[in-house]
């Protein structure tokens, strides 16, 4: 299985902060990397697919990129509704696998 490792696991931030979350895959997944957001008691929601494609309806403060073997989720200016847990997920090979999650909290 492809292992997905996120960092950090927890992130303390304030409204207006620029936040970056990193995800690394244990092998080459080309560009098949998605980012999801999950709020407590809710289903995950797709934010970004294929490294950098913003899902319809997702605010433009969210962006995705790749730097070498690292995939990066950036929130340019944190809003109150962005406090949640973020997961990366690869769809290059089955079984699809997720990172352990990054909880963004105040």
Partner 1 sequence: QVLLQESGPGLVEPSETLSLMCTVSGASIASNYWTWFRQPPGGRLEWIGYIYYSGGTNHNPTIFNPSLESRVTISADTSKNHVSLKLTSVTTADTAVYYCTRGGGFGGYPDFWGQGTLVAVSS
> Site residues (CB under 8 A) for partner 1?
31-32, 34, 36, 42-46, 49-50, 55, 87, 89, 91-92, 94-98, 100-101
Q: Which is nearer to partner 1, 17 or 53 (CB)?
A: 53
Give the ranges where 1-106 is alpha helix by DSSP (H): none
State whether residue 81 is helix, strand or coil.
Answer: helix
Compute the CA torsion angle 46, 67, 3, 11 (nearest 10 deg): -60
Q: Least distance (Å) from partner 1 to the CB of residue 85? A: 10
The span from the CA of 104 to the CA of 78, in Å, is 10
Min separation Cβ 87 and partner 1, Å: 6
Least distance to partner 1 from the beta carbon of 38, Å?
A: 8
Residue closer to partner 1, measured from CB, 7 or 44: 44
Q: Which is nearer to partner 1, 36 or 75 (CB)?
A: 36
| Residue from 31, 50, 47 nearest 85 by CA | 47
């Amino acid at each position: 299985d492809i292992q997905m490792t996120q960092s950090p696991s927890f992130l303390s931030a304030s409204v207006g902060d620029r936040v970056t979350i990193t995800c690394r895959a244990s092998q080459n997944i080309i560009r098949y990397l998605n980012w999801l957001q999950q709020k407590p008691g809710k289903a995950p929601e797709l934010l970004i697919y294929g490294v950098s494609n913003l899902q319809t309806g997702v605010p433009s403060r969210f962006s995705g990129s790749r730097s070498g073997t690292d995939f990066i989720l950036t929130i340019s200016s944190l809003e109150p509704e962005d406090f949640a847990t973020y997961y990366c997920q690869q769809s290059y090979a089955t079984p699809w696998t997720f990172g352990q999650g990054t909880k963004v909290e105040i």
